[in-house]
């Protein structure tokens, strides 16, 4: 073989690159035509049998030097890019995506409380609703600090079937009573599609817990209502899975979705979970939905709540969820991670979110 110089060889390759590009463009146009045709006829875009046939045809003609394996991979990428071409329209409609909606979504609650509008929010309250007296103490305190959104579990997903499972309907009633008395909005969990209508009657925001992030039938139901939904990231879920779960709700018609990062499960044992701080800016980049950080479940301890709340806000979070109880030592669940009310007030002050007009009632 006559020896060519590196420069010559590179020129040849440059030429081939452009020829391949040209063929790809032509191919793309045909693919689009097929896409329209199929859309008209209501046919499925993806046809694995056709792909298998194409690959077979191509590999039969492969004379090297690329191995069949390499050629197969390259054409799979070309097929994929073609699928993407067709689906791009759909994709533009991936409803969580910034590509489908450039501006931040703002979730509006009653009393002009807004989530995602630039000013961070606080969601605070006990792990579980335990009694009217408990919620009275907590609700009045929160209100005095200027908090607008109160959390409290009426339906509790508990590891053991024998531990306290929440006051259920009674808990919802207590929440509503206190919320109305102190001008608070309620966020509370729903765990079962059959409870959805009942919970939605009492709640201002429906919470989907980390354990239910993959409960797709429940997510679909949430698309039916208009009540805002806060979807927590599963503690072993990738960010992609998280956004796709949000899409389940959005795609069924409920656009009021809030994302909540609450820590992922790792090997580290000094915290209950590991707060994935990078999730905040990445979710904000990928999606227009508001992002809240639940620092209590992320940490499972209260001593570093203040620096972590600051970090979450610095990373761009639209708000902080934090558990607080008038006496964490006797809480029916998660005592270790609930701040006492004065500790909670201290946190608010440190992050500049204590409403100075509030009067400390304790």
Binders of a copy of itself among 166-205, rule CB under 8 A? 191-195
- How many residues in the shown chain lie near a copy of itself by CB under 8 A? 125
Cα separation of 74 and 160, whole Å?
A: 50
Least Cα distance to 84 among 28, 40, 41, 30 occurs for 28
Footprint (CB under 8 A) of a copy of itself, residues 27-86: 27-34, 37-38, 48-52, 54, 57-58, 61-67, 70-71, 73-75, 77-78, 81, 84-85
Tokens of 54: 């194409």
Q: Over the range 124-140, which residues count as b (16 or more CB within 10 Å of their CB) and which as e?
A: bbbbbbbeeebbbbbbb
Q: Which stretch binds a copy of itself (CB under 8 A): 139-147, 176-184, 209-217, 224-232?
A: 209-217
Pick one of 146, 255, 316, 346: the residue that binds a copy of itself (CB under 8 A).
Answer: 316
187 DSSP β-pair partners:
151, 205
Within 10 angstroms of residue 94's Cβ, the number of other Cβ atoms is 18
| Contact present, 159 and 172 (Cβ < 8 Å) | no
Pick one of 111, 157, 253, 342: the residue that binds a copy of itself (CB under 8 A).
Answer: 157
Pick one of 269, 356, 357, 359: the residue that binds a copy of itself (CB under 8 A).
Answer: 269
**How many residues are given for the chain?**
362
Residue 293 DSSP symbol: E
Give the dihedral sign, CA 241/263/134/318: negative
Tell me if 10 contacts a copy of itself by CB under 8 A: yes
Q: Which stretch binds a copy of itself (CB under 8 A): 102-110, 145-153, 302-310, 354-362?
A: 302-310
Tracing tokens 């009632």 back to the chain, one arrives at: 361
3-state class of 75 per DSSP? helix
Helix axes 48-61, 68-92, angle to 10 degrees: 150
Q: Which distant-in-sequence residues (6+ apart) come within 8 Å of 48 by Cβ?
A: none
Q: Which is nearer to a copy of itself, 21 or 360 (CB)?
A: 21
Q: Which stretch binds a copy of itself (CB under 8 A): 109-117, 132-140, 141-149, 247-255?
A: 247-255
3-state class of 278 per DSSP? coil
Tell me if 280 contacts a copy of itself by CB under 8 A: yes
Q: Which stretch binds a copy of itself (CB under 8 A): 171-179, 180-188, 301-309, 337-345?
A: 301-309
Q: Which stretch binds a copy of itself (CB under 8 A): 120-128, 140-148, 198-206, 212-220?
A: 212-220
Q: Which stretch binds a copy of itself (CB under 8 A): 115-123, 132-140, 280-288, 336-344?
A: 280-288
Footprint (CB under 8 A) of a copy of itself, residues 96-155: none
| Contact present, 189 and 155 (Cβ < 8 Å) | yes
Within 10 angstroms of residue 98's Cβ, the number of other Cβ atoms is 15
Site string for a copy of itself, 320-339 (x = CB under 8 A): -------x-xxxx--x----
Q: How far is the CB of 184 from a copy of itself (least distance, A)?
A: 26
Q: How far is the CB of 113 from a copy of itself (least distance, A)?
A: 25
């Amino acid at each position: 073989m006559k020896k060519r110089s590196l420069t010559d060889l590179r020129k040849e390759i440059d030429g081939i690159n452009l020829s391949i590009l040209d063929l790809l463009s032509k191919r793309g146009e045909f693919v689009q035509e097929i896409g329209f045709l199929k859309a008209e006829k209501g046919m499925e875009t993806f046809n694995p049998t056709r792909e298998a046939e194409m690959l077979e045809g191509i590999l039969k003609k492969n004379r090297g030097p690329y191995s069949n394996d390499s050629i197969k991979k390259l054409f799979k990428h070309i097929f994929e890019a073609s699928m993407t071409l067709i689906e791009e329209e759909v994709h533009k409609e991936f409803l969580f995506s910034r590509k489908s909606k450039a501006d931040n979504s703002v979730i509006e609650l009653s009393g002009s409380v807004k989530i995602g509008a630039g000013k961070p929010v606080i969601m605070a309250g006990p792990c579980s609703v335990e009694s009217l007296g408990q919620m009275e103490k907590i609700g009045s305190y929160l209100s005095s600090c200027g908090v607008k959104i109160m959390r409290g579990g009426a339906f509790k997903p508990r590891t053991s079937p024998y531990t306290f499972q929440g006051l259920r309907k009674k808990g919802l009633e207590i929440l509503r009573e206190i919320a109305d008395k102190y001008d608070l909005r309620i966020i509370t969990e729903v765990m079962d599609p059959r409870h959805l209508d009942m919970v939605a009657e009492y709640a201002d925001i429906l919470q989907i817990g980390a354990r239910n992030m993959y409960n797709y039938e429940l997510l679909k139901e949430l698309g039916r209502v208009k009540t805002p939904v806060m979807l927590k990231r599963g503690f072993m879920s990738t960010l992609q899975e998280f956004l796709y779960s949000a899409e389940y709700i959005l795609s069924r018609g409920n656009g009021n979705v809030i994302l909540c990062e609450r820590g992922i499960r790792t090997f580290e044992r000094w915290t209950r979970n590991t707060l994935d701080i990078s999730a905040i800016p990445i979710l904000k980049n990928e999606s227009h939905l508001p992002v809240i950080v639940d620092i209590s479940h992320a940490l499972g301890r209260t001593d570093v709540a203040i620096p972590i709340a600051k970090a979450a806000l610095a990373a761009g979070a639209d708000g902080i969820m934090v558990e607080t109880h008038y006496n964490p030592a006797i809480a029916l669940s998660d005592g270790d991670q609930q701040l006492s009310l004065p500790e909670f007030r201290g946190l608010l002050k440190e992050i500049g979110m204590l409403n100075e007009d509030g009067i400390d009632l304790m």
